[in-house]
A = this chain, B = another copy of it.
Amino acid sequence: MLTEDKKILIVGLGLIGGSYAQALKRKGWYVGAITRSQASIDYALAQGFIDTGTTEVSEEAVAQYDLIVFALYPNVLLKWLQTNQKYIKSGAVLTDVTGVKAKVVYKVQAMLRPDLEFVGAHPMAGREVYGVRNADCSIFNGANYIVTPTEANTEPAISEIEELGRVLGFARISRLSPERHDEMIGFLSQLTHCIAVALMTCRDVEHMSAYSGDSFRDLTRIARINDEMWSELFLLNRDTLLQQIDMFTEQMGRIRSAVAQGDSGLLRELMRLSTARRALFDK
């Protein structure tokens, strides 16, 4: 149970870590932070997002916390735990915010002290801007939150991480295996980012903004992309992402053939199917 006396540590005070801190502090939890930049700590303290923060990892900075949220890049998360898990209080529950799971969750669980428990989670919310100065916990309202338990997890810890999602304000909390999560996200999120980048870079678009409608703006909003984070996420989910790209490209080829052959019957059939399916996402 995520009782109110539990102390929560956020490791990595960026857009997501900062928004977690803001939401949790507002709801009354004691929130600490560890992050690389003192300026981020100062900002979060001034805004009342955290009770305390430090740039130095030490037993003093870590050992008091019952729940630790890692809002770090996947590779940084693994290194952090290798070096610093010795400081964590026995029985603490750990979670993350990473956008890929299979390549992260099992590795973390395999290296973790047996008296700690790590439950993966993916808050499906974000913005095109970065850093704690853009933190805003309202981005979680109405969004989806996926918990990715494995056989290494216990029901109480899984429930606690689901409760965290509810406390943060997410609308739908789901459980998926890490593999199933990665397939969903490979399609719903990574493939869409590939498409946006391809659309924005496949030809010179510099003089086109006077001629665009909403559709192009919609499809390329996410073309503003954190290249360091997303390239890491793509490669951590390589095989699954390739499958999604191939499935999509094959369908584009089918549409291309229909256009080339003037097959308006097939075009209209696909359009009617897409129209019907899209309605499912407008609820």
Chain B residue with the shortest CB-CB distance to A256: B245
| Chain B residues in 8 Å Cβ range of A247 | 202-203
Nearest 7 Cβ contacts at the A-B interface: A202-B251, A227-B271, A200-B274, A227-B268, A124-B213, A223-B274, A231-B267
Taken together as a complex, chains A and B put the C-alpha atoms of A226 and B271 apart, in Å, by: 8
| Chain B residues in 8 Å Cβ range of A20 | none
Min CB distance A275 to B, Å, is 5
| Chain B residues in 8 Å Cβ range of A253 | 249
Taken together as a complex, chains A and B put the C-alpha atoms of A237 and B174 apart, in Å, by: 44
A118 near B: Cβ within 8 Å? no
* B281 contacts A212, C-beta separation under 8 Å: yes
* B275 contacts A225, C-beta separation under 8 Å: yes
* B259 contacts A242, C-beta separation under 8 Å: yes
Which of A143, A238, A246, A270 is most buried by chain B, counting CB atoms within 10 A of its CB? A270
- Segment 126-168 of A: residues with Cβ below 8 Å from B: 126, 143-144, 146
Taken together as a complex, chains A and B put the C-alpha atoms of A242 and B259 apart, in Å, by: 7
A45 near B: Cβ within 8 Å? no
Q: Identify whether the interface residues of A are mostly helix, strand, loop, or mixed.
A: helix
Chain B residue with the shortest CB-CB distance to A195: B195
A217 near B: Cβ within 8 Å? yes
Partner of A264, one of B184, B224, B235: B235
| Chain B residues in 8 Å Cβ range of A52 | none
| Chain B residues in 8 Å Cβ range of A115 | none
| Chain B residues in 8 Å Cβ range of A110 | none
* B255 contacts A213, C-beta separation under 8 Å: no
* B211 contacts A146, C-beta separation under 8 Å: yes
